[in-house]
Structure 1
Amino acid sequence: MILLKLETYFAFAIAVVLISCAQVVSPTGGEKDVTPPKVLSLTPENEQTNFKAAEIKISFDEFVKFVRLKEELIVSPPLKYDLQTKIKGKEITIAIKDTLKENTTYVLNFGNSICDIRENNPLPNFSYVFSTGSEIDTLSVSGRIIQAYNSKVEKGVLVMLYDADEDSLPLKELPTYIARTDENGLYKIGNVKAGKYKTFALKDENKNYLFDRKTENIAFDTSMLVVNDNIEKLNFYLFQENHEKQFVKSQKEQTSNVTLNFNLPFDSIQIRGLDTNIEEVLKVKEIGVNKDSVSLWFNEMDNQRMKLIVHDYKTLNDTITVKVDSANKKLKIEMPATHNFFRKLEFTTNTPIKEIDISNIKILQKDSTAMEFSYGFKHNRNQLYLAFNHQQDSNYNISFLPGAFIDFYGKTNDSLRKKVKFNAEKEFGNLTINIHSSIQDDKLLQLLNHKGDVIKMVNIGVESVLFKHLNPGNYRLRCIVDRNKNGAWDTGNYILRQLPEKTILLEEEINVRANWDKEIKWEIEYKE
């Protein structure tokens, strides 16, 4: 009996132990591994001279992998054939298939492409350097790549040096030395031999180290670079050459009219029908204020398609199809409820206006007193204004009786009554810029909104510029050095050895507040 109890006790104890061992316990873990892989050995050694090996082996203290190798790896000078890379455990093998140049220092810059397996910790900016000659070249060239027009830094741009002075080199030959810009637009070409070099920067779209696409952004210097010592702050200003041809960018069809928008302003434009005599069906043709659009107003048609030939007497000769559905369309008036106090009362119609009968137009003050007014067209005959002695922060009642407007189709407007308000000066701010500059060329001053869009531009002909009636918000200033005095920024051209016009951006944002006059000083000078 006692023996049975002891056996039962021991069986129960063993079961408890087994259950305890089987319980799942959360891992205690430790701090996250943030240590990059460490190089244990290189064969041949780094900075090896009289290099003759066809293969390089790099051993690490942990398992490694490549991350974005094609984007990160840069070989200077570039090789005709890609390096053949292989990873086995903790070792990387690099096979060189090219015939290397004599007495040349090579740099294999892996960037941040070598990472550990577990946590993706990169080995930052790892480079392997060797020379086929008896010494390692040690000079360097560094600087920044900046967009010429908007002054933004540019990542991923190739900066290249050529040891000859032929203009065709960037178009057909690989460079002597090369580097790529980082996220801050910075570059550094290391292990450069003393000498004279042609400089060229390229946003390489097809990754062949050649400037062979018109859409590729480039930068260059018109003079040879003399390298006798380390060179710093050698900045380049990136631009895209202007090879644009004229074309119809978009077309907008609105009942009786079609608006054609072009990618470039034009001097003149011809539009004719391919299957229709356009003179018989066209009512009005209006050119946009910036000479980059055309509005066509057709006779009343019921859902009709026609083909048009658009020609600018230069490069444009395009055929487009348009749809017109203008039958029985009413004349409509669009007028916003709020207007700027420093402008006239502006409104639009959906068709061009031929006649105006002012006896059918009434403008009443709050006390019902009638206001005298004049009228006119802004840019086109469907953009109109009424001018009267309106006051700030005031309301007016506008009445358009039937017959106030007659369009080119003989249609008249329905009765429209609208209450409108003019805002007040206190809702806006003013900005005065006092300018000092030793730059003698003509200069243009651009006011940019927080998105970087140009909202105003003036010639700097005086020492003080005033921008009035600005909406509250943050603004930037940009100066364009207008060398050719054409009132616009001009890009560069490599074959013509023409650099883009320089721009200077005010570093600080300017905050403009409502009902406030802001005044700043700006010393406009070239920067290194």
Structure 2
Amino acid sequence: MRRIQISLLLFVIMLLFACGSKKSPTGGPEDTEKPSILSSMPAEYGDISSGIIEIDFSKAMDKSSLSNSVFFYPPIANRRISISRATMRIEIREKLQPDTYYYISLSNRIKDLRGNELDKAQTLIFKSGEPKAASLSGLIHYEKEEDKNSKIKVSVFSADSLLILMDDLSGSSYNFLALSPASYRLRAYMDKNLNGRYDTSIEPFFEDVVSITERGSMDISMVYEDTTLAQIKRVKQISTHELEIELSEEISKYDYMEILRQDSMEALTVIRQYLEGNILRVLTAKPDSSNYKLRLRNLKDIKGNISPESSISFRPTEFIDTIHPRVVEVSPRNG
């Protein structure tokens, strides 16, 4: 009987250990939803003379992510920022400038308790008193048609390079309200690979300076950095006296051209030159059947890149000229 009791006791102990080794429930799918800003008190463009601003998020936020994630313009040195669940509280402990817009920018480095970043970097605008308002607007141009549906990350800086506001733009135009009359630097790029920075040559970029008093205007042109240099692709003989030179890209000008016979380095006389896009048409004296080298110097493309020199060898062909003459250029030009 005692042996049976001991066996039952061992069975119960083993059963308890087996139950204790079971894994805890996973709690459902992983939370990857990004938090967003829901509202603020006072509301945006409201007066903050009380020195207290509260910003409500869609989720509970991680207070340890606040470092280097909240920016003030004009700068506010004496302030305290705290987070309680989904509410950020900003206490301003210094005297505010009179009749001034205040910009509070929140970068997407701010995270919720699950480590999800803020859905987008953005700026909330408040005021102290009654500041004089100005605006900046314009059209958005895209070098590539495919970029028209992509978000543009825009930062506006003061003349002394302090961050004023951040925003995401899209579409064909933009309009920034509640700016103060001043000079600004606007910088824009597309973060196509989502790494949080501008990558040269693979992402379009724009930067320029503008001064505004009331209503300022400046178009944004999202273009890619072009570091390629224009080169001569081929030479085609149109007639005995006319050459058509095709370039690798459109150029705005070049400084010098020469056509030399390769065996004697004797120059072929150039009578007239006409540049149109990436095509250069040249009228020359009649060449012989020797090999020639055509050389262009300081080719400047439409993005300002300068190719110091490009050359190509060619051999004119002998043929009977049956092409009627045509007007290539008039000097001075008509009109």
TM-score under structure 1 length normalisation: 0.32
Greater RCO structure (CA 8 Å; 6+ sep)? 2
